[in-house]
Amino acid sequence: MIKGRTIKHFLSQWVRNPREIGAIAPSSRRLAHLITDTPVLKRARAVVEIGPGTGAFTGRILEQKHPDALFLAVEANASFACLLKARFANGVQIYHDSAKNTQACLRNHGRATCDCIICGMPWGLFDERLQEDLMSAIAGVLEPGGEFSTFSYLGGPWLSDGRRFKKMLPRYFQRVSVSRTVWLNLPPAFVYRCVK
């Protein structure tokens, strides 16, 4: 029942603002498993999820993170932030805020940085200035050696904003790798895994 309500909620937000949501369906369980399948998440002392939407990755992060790790989720969409607070009452601090303010959210918990960032924002829909502003804020709160993971739909790198995002990553991170494709996702997607 929760899954059906979540999909309905997601679609209602997509109809209102498709450029903000960036997808026609929540990410699949297979994509959630892939993006969270990293040793960095398991040993991180502070984890931030940016753009969690309806929480497709949130539950999996809760399962995989270290039990004592601080876990924040920063969501710009007010409706999604309310849904997340209802779905995940324990183990994650939900902020209705911009990714640009991630450091302020961390400082509320006595930290200025984190070890692991998992991101569900639609980078391919953002113009150059917004991509740079967001990435600068994100990279600025990541510890050296920390990991940033985000995903792209298979066709994303063929679009101009998606190509620009792909070229931008090596300027912020020492290592950037691309995962296998998750075909059972709507649309098919892959993960960028980036180490600072």
Mean pLDDT of 26-43: 95
pLDDT band at 14 (very low <50, low <70, confident <90, very high): very low
For the chain, give the mean pLDDT. 88
3 state SS for the chain:
CHHHHHHHHHHHHHHHCHHHHCCCCCCCHHHHHHHHCCHHHHHCCEEEEECCCCCCCHHHHHHHCCCCCEEEEEECCHHHHHHHHHHCCCCCEEEECCHHHHHHHHHCCCCCCEEEEEECCCHHHCCHHHHHHHHHHHHHHEEEEEEEEEEEECCHHHCHHHHHHHHHHHHHCCEEEECCCECCCCCCEEEEEEEC
Domain around 13: 2-195
* Prediction pTM value: 0.87
Higher pLDDT, 190 or 186: 190
pLDDT tens, residue by residue, 41-71: 999 999 999 999 999 999 999 999 999 999 9
Our count of domains for the chain comes to 1
With 70 as the cut, is the pLDDT of residue 10 above it?
no
- Which CATH number fits the domain that encloses residue 94? 3.40.50.150
pLDDT band at 144 (very low <50, low <70, confident <90, very high): very high
